[in-house]
Homo-oligomer: A and B are copies of this chain.
Amino acid sequence: MRPTVHDIAAAAGVSLATVDRVLNLRPGVRAATREKVEQAIEQIGFVRDVAAANLAKSRVYPFIFILPSGDNSFMRGLETEIRAAIDRSVFERTQISIVTVPAFDGPALANALDQARLSHPAGVAVVAVDSPEVAAAVNRLRTDNIPVVTLVSDLAGSARDHFAGIDNAAAGRTAAGLMGRFLRGRPGPIAILAGSMLVRDHRERLEGFRSLIETEFPGRMILPVLEGHDDPVEAERLVGQALKSHPDIAGIYSLGAGNRGLIAALKAHQSGASVIAHELTPHTRKALKDGLIDAVLNQDAGHEVRSAIRVLKAKADGQAVLSAQERIRIDIFLKDNLPFDDAAPASEGDDI
Using CB atoms and an 8 Å cutoff, list the residues of chain A in contact with chain B. Answer: 2, 47, 49-52, 54-55, 90-91, 167, 170-171, 173-174, 176-178, 181-182, 184-186, 212, 216, 274, 294, 300, 302-303, 306-307, 310, 322-327, 329-332, 334-337, 339, 347-352
Contact = CB atoms under 8 A, between A and B. Distances in A.
B325 A306 contact: yes
Contacts of A54: 51
Given A2-B90, A176-B336, 6 more contacts: A51-B51, A55-B55, A174-B334, A177-B335, A177-B337, A332-B332
B55 A51 contact: yes
Contacts of A327: 339, 349-351
B350 A181 contact: no
B334 A349 contact: no
B350 A47 contact: no
Top 8 nearest A-B pairs (CB, nearest first) are: A352-B352, A324-B349, A351-B352, A177-B334, A174-B337, A351-B351, A173-B336, A51-B51
Contacts of A324: 302, 347-351
A184, A337, A348: most-surrounded residue (chain B CB, <10 A):
A337
Contacts of A212: 336
Contacts of A334: 173-174, 177-178
A171 B348 CA distance: 17
B47 A91 contact: yes
21 contacts: A49-B55, A167-B337, A170-B336, A177-B334, A177-B335, A177-B336, A181-B182, A184-B185, A185-B185, A216-B336, A307-B352, A323-B349, A324-B350, A325-B349, A325-B350, A326-B349, A329-B329, A330-B331, A350-B351, A350-B352, A352-B352
